[in-house]
Amino acid sequence: MRPVDARAQLRYNGTNFKCDDEGEKMNYRDLLTEEEILEVRNGDRTEAITDVAYDSRRVGPGAMFVAIFGFATDGHRFVEAAIEQGAAVIVHQADLARYHDDVVYLKVTDCRRLLGHIASRFFGHPSEKITVTGITGTNGKTSSTYFLTGILRAAGKKCARMGTIDNQIGDAVLDNKGRTTSESRDTQAFIAEAVAAGCSDLVMEASSQALDLDRLTDVHFDYALFTNLTQDHLDYHKTFEAYFEAKARLFDQTEKAAIINRDDPWGRKLINRIRERHPKLKIITYGEDPAADYRLSAVDCTTGGSTFTLQAGDEKETIFLDVLGRFMVYNAVGTIIAAREQGIDWAAIKAALADAPVVEGRMERIKTNLDFDIVVDYAHTPDALENLLKTVKELARGRVIAVFGCGGDRDHGKRPLMGAIAAKEADFSVLTSDNSRSEDPEAILDDIEAAVRPITDQYTRIADRREATVYALTHARKDDVVIFAGKGHEKTETSRNGVRPYYEKAVILDVIEQEKIGK
Ligand SMILES: CC(=O)N[C@H]1[C@@H](OP(=O)(O)OP(=O)(O)OC[C@H]2O[C@@H](n3ccc(=O)[nH]c3=O)[C@H](O)[C@@H]2O)O[C@H](CO)[C@@H](O)[C@@H]1O[C@H](C)C(=O)N[C@@H](C)C(=O)N[C@H](CCC(=O)O)C(=O)O
Ligand SMILES: Nc1ncnc2c1ncn2[C@@H]1O[C@H](COP(=O)(O)OP(=O)(O)OP(=O)(O)O)[C@@H](O)[C@H]1O
């Protein structure tokens, strides 16, 4: 196969990246190897491909459409629609009902997997032209990407970031279309755009679903960071082992160093897995464990931020992080190591963390003039809820009131776990809805309440989240901390009635205003 160089200029038009007229033209033979193609029809047509698409609604004239067997539907059903939109080449794995003479058909064994390879070739293997750090783990990915980009920017680098809240190239904020880690074609296009914009670094979250669904195929990671592993997404992965294995795949495509939280038991398991499979990959560990390469100690968390000491060999630094909570210290330490590996000096690291950005909906303090505190946090896993409540308990002078729920159509096992945690850790819980999706919200509350009731009677249940907010805020007393867990930065609420706008921070401020709380 002929090596494909960077596409000359890429421009972002909101949905698609397109090759500039001066860019190198590629036909299907440049994008798939002979071994990858099982069968070709009309293979003598070799016009330049204008784009690679996996969704018929985003196909333009001259594009290659890759038909994917999905969970909800089958891309093969949309081949004719793609051709109507102008697709010149169809990549498929099932036989089709109809073949046109003026369209090239390439039959392959695994369209989803191949899409990443095709897109990487089409966009000129962009991840080889930028330093890529991937962050995986159940909790802490988003916060870590913010910390690391903050440090890299403080050191004068132009960075791109991809994750749950949004995607960024330099200062430009792009829509992530609701995905933590985009589909492989969009990931490759995004990296190419970051390269074209002159970014030296990309920091991205790598979700377990993305790793499992080949969305990161052909992304070359320089550094990979593992934060922790606790229960989540078992509706998708089924077993903890499979969930771990999906996360671990990130380290199979990492070249320079694996940075791992040694205090997490799954982190220790990951170290062994890497030693067996990739003996040459550098492993750097962190944590309070005396065997950690970066040893964490003297962690002191207050409402004003956290101070901690980090020792690596002879180097010992005391660092201040302007963010609440012990677990955020762990997130910061992983990113410090990624920065140190890239040669960033301690001064830039300390400056960035002392002025760390508030990550929307992550331990976010809502500013009011009330005599109790309000914190919004995205905690929606048992582990995150436990950490959150324990952290706030350490800091609170009064009671801790937790407002939370569990998602519908997702891992049911989380419900009793989260109920029991709130019952033990909070002084009072308000059980409510959190994206009940197609389920009956009251049935979800039944599952949570079943675990709360045997432990405490200090709770109430109100399915309507706004009403639950009114209850929590009107019952809070001086020095209490009211925690709204689960929705974080999200802007919508999904239930059987559809998707409605719901932005936790705005609802809280509105309730305070409407109910005249504190007046
Ligand atoms: C399980 C999963 O990840 N599914 C994602 C996946 O769906 P899919 O591949 O099964 O596609 P499908 O909807 O069945 O359609 C099959 C094919 O037909 C195509 N199609 C469909 C309709 C049409 O008119 N024309 C057309 O060509 C589709 O583009 C697709 O290629 O590809 C779709 C398009 O990119 C995603 O919208 C969809 O995300 C679903 C909604 C989802 O919920 N994903 C979650 C689980 C997820 O990925 N989450 C993680 C983070 C989780 C976390 O950390 O909290 C993430 O990285 O975002
Ligand atoms: N290191 C950590 N350990 C445990 N809990 C954490 C940690 N970091 C963050 N959290 C909790 O997890 C929530 C989500 O944090 P963050 O968005 O940074 O993680 P994430 O891995 O990106 O999660 P998601 O993929 O669900 O968006 C936070 O609101 C916080 O409650």
> Is residue 242 in some structural domain?
yes
Do 313 and 382 lie in one domain? The reply is no
> Is residue 5 in some structural domain?
no
**What's the alpha-carbon Rg for the chain, to the nearest Å?**
25
Tell me the C-alpha distance between 337 and 322, whole Å: 18
> Is residue 1 in some structural domain?
no
Q: What is the mean pLDDT of the chain?
A: 92
User: Rounded to the nearest whole angstrom, what is the distance from the C-alpha of residue 406 to the centroid of ligand 1?
Assistant: 22
Residue type (1 letter), 86: G
Q: Is the ipTM of this complex over 0.90?
A: yes
The position carrying tokens 């159509």 is 409
Do 286 and 371 lie in one domain? The reply is no
Do 397 and 490 lie in one domain? The reply is yes
> Is residue 158 in some structural domain?
yes
Do 339 and 380 lie in one domain? The reply is no
Pocket-testing residue among 73, 237, 378, ligand 1, by greatest number of atoms within 8 A of Cβ: 73
Tell me the C-alpha distance between 142 and 152, whole Å: 16
pLDDT band at 4; cut points 50, 70, 90 = very low
End position of a domain, from candidates 73, 97, 123: 123
Tell me the C-alpha distance between 82 and 53, whole Å: 9
SS (H, E, C) 256-310: EEEEEECCCHHHHHHHHHHHHHCCCCEEEEEECCCCCCEEEEEEEEECCEEEEEE
Alpha carbon 75 to chain centroid, angstroms: 25
The string of pLDDT tens digits covering residues 399-416 is: 999 999 999 998 899 999
Alpha-carbon distances of 61 from 6, 17, 51, 500, rounded to whole Å = 22, 14, 9, 36
CATH number for 482: 3.90.190.20
Per-residue DSSP letters for 492-517?
Answer: EEEETTEEEE--HHHHHHHHHHHTTT
Domain span at residue 199? 126-355
The string of pLDDT tens digits covering residues 106-156 is: 999 999 999 999 999 999 999 999 999 999 999 999 999 999 999 999 999
Do 383 and 449 lie in one domain? The reply is yes
Specify the ligand 2 atom closest to the Cα of 143.
18
> Is residue 494 in some structural domain?
yes
Do 180 and 268 lie in one domain? The reply is yes
End position of a domain, from candidates 91, 123, 155: 123
The string of pLDDT tens digits covering residues 412-471 is: 999 999 999 999 999 999 999 999 999 999 999 999 999 999 999 999 999 999 999 999
Residue 360 or residue 331, greater confidence? 331
pLDDT band at 8; cut points 50, 70, 90 = very low
pTM, entire model: 0.86
- Please report which ligand is nearest the Cα atom of 111: 1
> Is residue 94 in some structural domain?
yes
User: Rounded to the nearest whole angstrom, what is the distance from the C-alpha of residue 86 to the centroid of ligand 1?
Assistant: 23
**Has 120 been labeled as part of a binding site?**
no
Q: Which helix (H) or strand (E) holds 91?
A: strand 89-92
CATH number for 60: 3.40.1390.10
Neighbours of 491 (CB within 10 A): 11
**Has 139 been labeled as part of a binding site?**
yes
Do 160 and 118 lie in one domain? The reply is no
Tell me which long-range contacts 470-474 makes (C-beta under 8 A, separation of at least 24).
470/511, 470/515, 471/430, 472/401, 472/403, 472/430, 473/374, 473/508, 473/511, 473/512, 473/515, 473/517, 474/515, 474/517
Tell me the C-alpha distance between 352 and 340, whole Å: 13
The position carrying tokens 């065997």 is 291
Q: Does the CB atom of residue 335 touch ligand 2 within 6 A?
A: no
CB 351 within 8 A of CB 322: no
- Please tell me what DSSP assigns to residue 311: E
Q: Does the CB atom of residue 378 touch ligand 2 within 6 A?
A: yes
Q: Which conformational region is residue 239 in: left (phi greater than 0), alpha (psi within -120 to 50 degrees), or beta? A: beta
Do 64 and 115 lie in one domain? The reply is yes
pLDDT band at 325; cut points 50, 70, 90 = confident
> Is residue 4 in some structural domain?
no
Do 151 and 91 lie in one domain? The reply is no
User: Rounded to the nearest whole angstrom, what is the distance from the C-alpha of residue 392 to the centroid of ligand 1?
Assistant: 36
Do 109 and 33 lie in one domain? The reply is yes
Do 218 and 302 lie in one domain? The reply is yes
- Please tell me what DSSP assigns to residue 45: -
Per-residue DSSP letters for 188-237?
Answer: HHHHHHHHHTT-SEEEEE--HHHHHTTTTTT--EEEEEE----S--HHHH
Residues with CB under 6 A from ligand 1: 54-57, 68, 70-73, 75, 78, 179-181, 183, 207, 209-210, 213
End position of a domain, from candidates 96, 123, 150: 123
Do 331 and 450 lie in one domain? The reply is no
The string of pLDDT tens digits covering residues 191-215 is: 999 999 999 999 999 998 999 999 9
> Is residue 464 in some structural domain?
yes
User: Rounded to the nearest whole angstrom, what is the distance from the C-alpha of residue 459 to the centroid of ligand 1?
Assistant: 37
- As for how many domains the chain has, the answer is 3
Q: What pLDDT is recorded for position 127?
A: 97
Whose Cα sits closest to atom 23 in ligand 2? 139
